[in-house]
Amino acid sequence: RPRILSGMQPTSDSLHLGNYLGALVNWVGLQEDFDAYYFVADLHALTVPTDPADITRRSRVTAAQYIAGGVDPERSAIFCQSHVREHTELMWVLACQTAFGEASRMTQFKDKTAKGLGANVGLFTYPILMAADILIYDAARVPVGDDQRQHLEITRDLAERFNARFGDTLVVPEPHILKESARIMDLQEPTGKMSKSSSSDKGLISLLDDPKRIVKKIRSAVTDVDGEIRYDVDAKPGVSNLLSIHSALSGTSIADLETHFAGQGYGALKQEVADVVVSAIEPYQRRMDELMSDPAELDSILAKGAARAAEVASATRDRVYERVGLLAPR
């Protein structure tokens, strides 16, 4: 089976609805047809100064959320990035193939430094580590939300460049980005994406929020004054976002939802969206409680996942080291 890979940063105590619909739901679907590797991007999380205890706790929580969302640890490898050293080993080789100007143009780094937020060298090299995460597994596809598109492009560029210079070595990956759920927007500011770093509490649905709070947040989501339930991202970003959320969770197409809601008000739309979100989240939260009550079991899943990942990763690392001319250790 072809391989896929994806990861999330352990930068918060819960994933949010954007992570869930933009990425996790697709991860679950894809593990049927692909040999899947899903990791906690703990090394990436170090690019922002964080309390060590937070990183530790959030790494377990993030892994548990993959499982609560439906990733099957028997079938797919779940592990921490820092447990598979080949990610950073490949990163160094790729860094030596990356132009300084090319890395400087990456928007994540540009945005942070433009805002005057002090950036470290780790943030500068973030996309190169991400490229290594993907290329070390020969991943054919990478299921992510729309905000990762630029990172996928530089990954493809680096793989192609490496192959052109050293001969066919790395698989050039395809992004797997689903149109309707690729960009879940902030409920209060629906022209910006739902984000753990920039959304307000009211604008963001955390998967571990109390269901009553979720209902309240959806009821007070910003819409517009024209009163018609219709999908039009530019003219009606708030209503369109609610339709996207409904559609991604209920599996009903946007067109069918528009017909279904014809002549109804925003109150009805919000009520149904709240219902579909809460009914997805309740079993998820129950599963999270179980998983978090047994950290030893979780750590053993992560250890098994890392061992499985390292088998693939070490073979790629050896191939790459040989290609660039490093003397094989004996």
Which residues sit in the known binding site for L-tryptophan?
Answer: 133
Binding status of residue 6 toward ligand TYM by CB under 6 A:
yes
One-letter identity of residue 152? L
Of 178-186, 233-241, 287-295, 320-328, the segment contacting ligand TYM by CB under 6 A is 178-186
Q: Which residue is nearest to ligand TYM (CB)?
A: 22
Identify which of residues 70 and 264 has a Cβ nearer to ligand TYM in the complex. 70
Pick 9 or 98: Cβ nearer ligand TYM? 9
* 217 catalytic per annotation: no
- Contacts of ligand TYM in 39-68 (CB under 6 A): 41, 44
Q: Would you count residue 184 as binding ligand TYM (CB under 6 A)?
A: yes
Instruction: Give the tokens for residue 41.
Output: 């991007």
* Residues 187 and 180: beta-carbon distance below 8 Å: no
Buried b (16+ CB within 10 A) or exposed e, 210-237: eeeebbebbeebbbeeeeebebeeeebb
Strand partners, 8: 40
Shortest separation between residue 15's beta carbon and ligand TYM, angstroms: 8
Q: Are 10 and 61 in contact (CB under 8 A)?
A: yes
Q: Annotated binding site: which residue ranges? A: 9-11, 18-19, 133, 145-147, 184, 193-197
Residue indicated by tokens 């992510």: 144
Q: How far apart are CA 174 and CA 15, in angstroms?
A: 24
Q: Interface residues for ligand TYM in 118-177 (CB under 6 A)?
A: 130, 133-134, 142, 144-145, 147-148, 151
Least Å distance, CB 153 to ligand TYM, is 13
CB-count burial class (<10 Å; 0-12, 13-18, 19+) for 264: middle
Which region holds residue 294: left if phi is over 0, alpha if psi is between -120 and 50, else beta? Answer: beta
Nearest Cα residue to 248 out of 229, 276, 216, 223: 276
- DSSP helix/strand/coil, 315: helix
Among residues 104, 108, 178, 89, which one has the least CA distance to residue 141?
Answer: 178
Q: Please, are residues 145 and 182 in contact by the beta-carbon 8 Å criterion?
A: yes
Residue 22 interacting with ligand TYM (CB under 6 A): yes
Is 200 exposed, middle or buried (CB count within 10 Å of its CB: 0-12, 13-18, 19+)?
exposed
Is 19 among the residues that bind ligand TYM (CB under 6 A)?
Answer: yes
Per-position x/- string for 293-312, each x denoting binding to ligand TYM as judged by CB under 6 A, each - no binding: --------------------
196 is catalytic: yes
Under the criterion CB under 6 A, does residue 14 sit at the interface with ligand TYM?
no
Q: Which is nearer to ligand TYM, 23 or 218 (CB)?
A: 23
Q: Is 9 in the site for ligand TYM (CB under 6 A)?
A: yes
- State the minimum distance, in angstroms, from the CB of residue 143 to ligand TYM: 7
- Annotated catalytic residues are 112, 193, 196
**Which spans of this chain sit near ligand TYM (rule: CB under 6 A)?**
5-9, 18-19, 22-23, 41, 44, 130, 133-134, 142, 144-145, 147-148, 151, 182-184, 193-195
